[in-house]
Amino acid sequence: MAWQPSPESLSTLAACLKDSLSGFDKAAQKQAEMMLTQAKESPDINNYLVYLFSSQEPPNGLQCSAEDYFLVRSSAAIMLKNNIKPASKPISDDSFALIKMGVPMCLQDKNAQIRNYAGVIATEVIRQGGIMSWPELLPELLKMIGNETGQFTNEAQEGAMAAMAKICEDNTKMLERELNGERPLNFILPKLIQATKSSLPKVRAHALTAINVFTARKSQAMLASIDDLLQHLFSLAADENNDVRRQVCRAFAQLVESRPDKIQPYLPDLIDYIIAQQQSDDEDLATDAAEFWLTVGEHEHLWHSLNPHISKIIPVLLQCMVYSAEDIALLGGASDDEDEDDLEQDIKPQFAKKSATRQANGEGSADPAQNGNAYEKLASMDDDLEEGEIEDFEDGDDANPDERWTLRKCSAAALDVFARDFRDPVFESILPYLTKNLRHPDWPYREAAVLALGAVAEGCINVVTPHLPQLVPYLISLLNDSEPVVRQITCWTLGRYSSWAAELTDPTQKQLFFEPMMEGILTKMLDPNKKVQEAGASAFANLEEKAGKKLEPYSLPIIQQFVRCFNKFKDRNMYILYDCVQTLAEHIGPVLARPDHVNELMPALIERWNKVSDQSRELFPLLECLSYVAMALNDAFTPYAQPIFARCVNVIHQNLEQSLALQNDPALDTPDKDFLVTSLDLLSAIIQALDPAKSAKLVQGSQPAFFELLTFCMKDPTDEVRQSAYALLGDCAKYVFEQLQSSLPNIFPILLTQLDLDGVLDEDIDSGFGAVNNACWSAGEIAIRHKSNMAPYVPELFQSFTAIITNPGIPKGVTENAAIALGRLGLGNGELLAPELANFAEDFLTSMDEVDPSDEKATAFRGFTAVVEKNPMALEKCLLHFFTAIARYRDLKLRSETKSGLHEDFQKTIGIYRQIMPQFDQFLAQLQPQDQQALRTNYVF
């Protein structure tokens, strides 16, 4: 007998589902959520959810208005989708059979939102179980879309097509992979192309949305269908529906990337088409059209083809850079809002920047973030998405134009790209516009002209430079414009030209241009409008990057202004202020440690440190900022180190405890790993900054035990956490080895696991290698101090390092760090490595050829020569390479024990080969003349 619901349970569940979406009665909502959590334990819960979701009318006995019943169905759909996710209990076969019946019914529902929910559930089933978990679904959808028998309603066709688009977006790779000898996409794509001929605009638009998931990817199916697709796109180009034309523009832009050969012949006509679409009254369509210029302009070959057309493209870009009347209304006009607190939704989510990887050629590298980009397109990242997949995201029609990607920003970004492509002609074509509008009485035109001037800064700097002595003073005067939006964009544009001002060497010119520019931007950080403050801070961070050490004479007034900002800024702008402080610390370094500077800056930072809670996301930029400040202050950071160190340890401990609790109770919130990353990085900075004895004391006094926490972080499933953990391990080896030593038996098994390349998945290749890189570096730092005590770990370490340096698919920086660590293993373990020397010497020397002279390279070669001494005959095949490396090692005259020791080691090795090679002089004659000369100059023969 088929399953039937109990009327009483159905009624109770419906009431809870309705209340769970009630925004008015918070108590009822909370009570409903608790009851639904309990209801999840019922074996029949999914049957009830499908029953409610798929019943178009309230079931008998359920008293409900149409509006309330829609809420019940929506809530049932959301809960059902969440129950399909892997963290939930497995769904029974009976329930799954009901889902397979209910979802196709709901795809035909008269309510568009219910159809949408059905598509989301279908997508989730495929995402979790694969295509074979519901093999009938895709053929059934295609049958509804095609409607060859005429039996399906318009709603059914639209619902099926929307569901198919979602499945394509969320399961891109799955559809491209082979399954039972077939690739599903080979069958689906021609059907999607056919669906673009549907008489229903929504079906045409969704069909193109689905196709566009694949247009940028070079799949077998796209290869076979490209000509057919192009013909359909050209016929759809004049479609009366704006959404269809949006997708047509997107398709052309994506084909520029994947099939430029197919786009090239049609480019002149396409340019005219895109210009026409960019002037549409529908801003979404116009923006998608404008993105075509970005794609073509950044294409390494196609951009040349735009050259004959830029004179007609650029006026359209300039026209689209003026704020629309709608945007002006949303901006809310001029206002002094400096005293208004930020709403929580105004504060952008903050993510920890990826920790630096320790490099063989220098200290470390982090992502060079570009400050103050007025038209940066922010992508919302979702860890669960595969490459090529799209997250459902709505900008919201009424979103503030400052916060979303708009036609204005896209046009400015395109102008920037054209300026870098075509240089001087772009400035010449916008010069009449600038002349007319920079002093325009209506602020939207003034603002657009300043934006245009800023957009061409990078590409047209040579042709703009003669005009800057007139332009810069005028721009500085615009910092006092009555309209905040003009002040805001002026800050950005001045920041873009700050490299010109920073590079002025004549004292008079510096006084005329650089100092007023710096002072003007700095003053705007305390503008009465918060958005101008933000633009001023962002532009100043940009100026700091460009000016670098040239800011040293002005550092005290700069810090004093930062301190005023700490007292004035609301939460949102605090984030960019931290960036200003850390950029200054990075560029003026030790100057920051002057007592007058420390006494100004540190009380303001510590006050903020005390105010921000351990749970606040503001902790990320604050910890990162303090890392830079600690490195700049060095031992002057000592008075602040202990409480900061202890709090970082505590934050790490709390986060690890939350992760353990989550394993026992999956219903708990997932802890944010960025707290771990930024805390580990600050601990690294403190250990590097302080006198080693003081660092050792902090590590020793840590509660809980420091290295116990570090080993947990080294095992963390998140790559960025492990990357930071291994960086900290290496710093501990350098500065507090005595404290680290007793924990090494616990640390090495974890480190060896990290060095296993099988653990780096293809999908995580970039972030995974950051952790491998730092593990190599830290192993090398331990090796030069632990020496012969490394013996138990040498065989496995040797195996890992050689696997890395012989693998051509591994990034160069990782290979270099592995080679350095391998060389350092020879210090104290030469006899253990000597039998293997012939197997790794050539790869070691090749990796080291690229590494700049440094202490790391010197210690690696010292270890290598120690191995060579134990087995000199093993270098028979690469002895010439070794002697070339000795001849070209340039750093030996610098005074350092390591380097003078290396000179002696090289001298000793040359002596060994002189003794054992009767034809030594003939061997040397095979070297390049300059290398022979270098050897005879630096060594005794």
Task: Please report which confidence band the pLDDT of residue 373 belongs to, taking 50, 70 and 90 as the band edges.
Answer: very low
d(CA 700, CA 684): 15
Residues 829 and 870: beta-carbon distance below 8 Å: no
Percentage, residues of the chain above pLDDT 70:
91
Instruction: Please choose, from the candidates 236, 235, 227, 229, the residue with its C-alpha nearest in 3D space to the C-alpha of residue 212.
Output: 229
Whole-number pLDDT of residue 509: 97
Do 355 and 811 form a contact (C-beta atoms < 8 A)?
no
pLDDT confidence of 391, banded at 50, 70, 90? very low
pLDDT at 856: 93
Using CA atoms, how far apart are residues 635 and 783, in angstroms rounded to an integer?
27
Give me the numbers of helices (H) and strands (E) for the chain, helices first please. Answer: 49, 0
Give the per-residue pLDDT at 899. Answer: 75
Give the pLDDT score at 395.
39
- C-alpha 809/C-alpha 769 separation (Å) is 11
How far is it, in rounded angstroms, from Cα 694 to Cα 701? Answer: 11
Between vectors from CA 609 to CA 606 and to CA 610, what angle results, nearest 5°?
90
Report the pLDDT value the prediction gives residue 346, as an integer from 0 to 100. 65
CA–CA gap between residue 682 and residue 626 (Å, rounded) = 7
As a dihedral over the C-alpha atoms of residue 286, residue 287, residue 291, residue 293, rounded to 10 degrees, the angle is: 50
Q: What is the largest CA-CA distance in the chain?
A: 105
In this structure, which amino acid lies at residue 658?
Answer: Q
Mean pLDDT for the chain?
91
Residue 489 in contact with residue 455, Cβ under 8 Å? no
Contact yes or no for 298/417 (Cβ under 8 A): yes
* Position 526, amino acid: L
Query: What number of other Cβ atoms are within 10 A of residue 436's Cβ?
Result: 11
Helix (H, G, I), strand (E, B) or coil at 927: coil
| pLDDT exceeds 90 at position 218 | no
Burial tier of 545 (Cβ tally within 10 Å: 0-12, 13-18, 19+)? buried
CA distances from 642 to 628, 648, 654, 698, 844 (A): 17, 10, 18, 7, 42
Closest CA relative to residue 249, chosen from 208, 217, 213? 208
Alpha helices in 85-237 (DSSP H): 93-106, 112-129, 137-146, 154-170, 172-176, 184-195, 201-215, 220-236
Task: Decide if pLDDT at 488 tops 50.
Answer: yes
User: Residue 352: its pLDDT value, please?
Assistant: 55
User: What are the residues facing 182 on neighbouring strands?
Assistant: 179
Q: Which pLDDT belongs to residue 397?
A: 46
User: Is pLDDT of 885 > 80?
Assistant: yes
The answer, yes or no, to whether residue 339 has pLDDT greater than 90, is no
Among residues 749, 750, 707, the alpha carbon closest in space to that of 728 is found at 707
CA dist., res. 491 & res. 578, Å (int): 18
Q: What confidence category does residue 389 fall into, taking pLDDT thresholds of 50, 70 and 90?
A: very low
Euclidean distance between CA atoms 577 and 683, whole angstroms: 22
Q: Give me the pLDDT at residue 351, please.
A: 54
Among the listed residues 129, 126, 191, the one whose alpha carbon sits nearest the alpha carbon of residue 161: 191
- Does residue 704 have a cis bond before it (omega within 30 degrees)? yes
Q: Is the pLDDT of residue 529 over 50?
A: yes
Per-residue pLDDT at 396: 42
What torsion do the CA atoms of 627, 632, 635, 641 make, to the nearest 10 degrees?
-20
Question: Span 613-617, mean pLDDT?
Answer: 94
What is the reported pLDDT for 358? 66
Q: What is the pLDDT of residues 70-128, one digit of tens each?
A: 999 999 999 999 999 865 678 899 999 999 999 999 999 999 999 999 999 999 999 99
Question: End-to-end CA distance of the chain, in Å?
Answer: 99
Helix, strand, coil distribution of the chain in percent, nearest 5? 75, 0, 25
User: Could you tell me which residues are beta bridge partners of residue 569?
Assistant: none
What is the pLDDT averaged over residues 323-346? Answer: 77
Q: Where are the alpha helices (DSSP H) in 665-743?
A: 674-689, 692-700, 706-714, 719-735, 737-741
d(CA 921, CA 120): 77
pTM of the model: 0.85
pLDDT digits (tens, 9 = 90+) for 753-800: 999 887 664 545 555 699 999 999 999 999 999 999 999 999 999 999
Query: Could you tell me if 292 and 331 are in contact, meaning their C-beta atoms sit under 8 angstroms apart?
Result: no
- Digit-coded pLDDT (tens) for 900-917: 799 999 999 999 999 999
pLDDT tens-place string over residues 823-852: 999 999 999 999 999 999 999 999 999 999
DSSP three-state, residue 454: helix
User: Is a pLDDT exceeding 60 seen at residue 319?
Assistant: yes
Neighbour-count burial of 47, counting CB atoms closer than 10 A to its CB (0-12 exposed, 13-18 middle, 19+ buried): buried
Give the model confidence (pLDDT) of 227-256 as tens digits.
999 999 999 999 999 999 999 999 999 999
Please give the pLDDT value at position 424: 96
* pLDDT for the residue numbered 461: 97
* 185 vs 220: CA distance, rounded Å: 9
pLDDT (mean) for 740-746: 97
Question: What's the pLDDT score for residue 300?
Answer: 93
Q: What is the pLDDT of residue 293?
A: 98
Mean pLDDT across 349-369: 52
Residues 855-871 have pLDDT tens digits of 999 999 999 999 999 99
- Which residue in this structure is represented by tokens 């939350």? 658
Give the model confidence (pLDDT) of 275-306 as tens digits.
Answer: 999 999 999 999 999 999 999 999 999 999 99
Beta bridge partners of 365: 357
SS3 565: helix
Whether residue 369 has pLDDT greater than 70: no
Confidence class of residue 366 from pLDDT cuts 50, 70 and 90?
Answer: very low
> Residue 354 has what pLDDT?
52
State yes or no: pLDDT of 562 exceeds 70.
yes
On whether the CB atoms of residues 658 and 651 are closer than 8 A, the answer is no
The secondary structure of 177-220, three-state, reads CCECCECHHHHHHHHHHHHCCCCCHHHHHHHHHHHHHHHCCCCH
What pLDDT, on the 0 to 100 scale, is given for residue 334? Answer: 58
Q: Is 343 strand, coil or helix?
A: coil
Distances 492 to 126, 478, 498, 503, 571 between C-alpha atoms, Å? 46, 12, 10, 18, 21
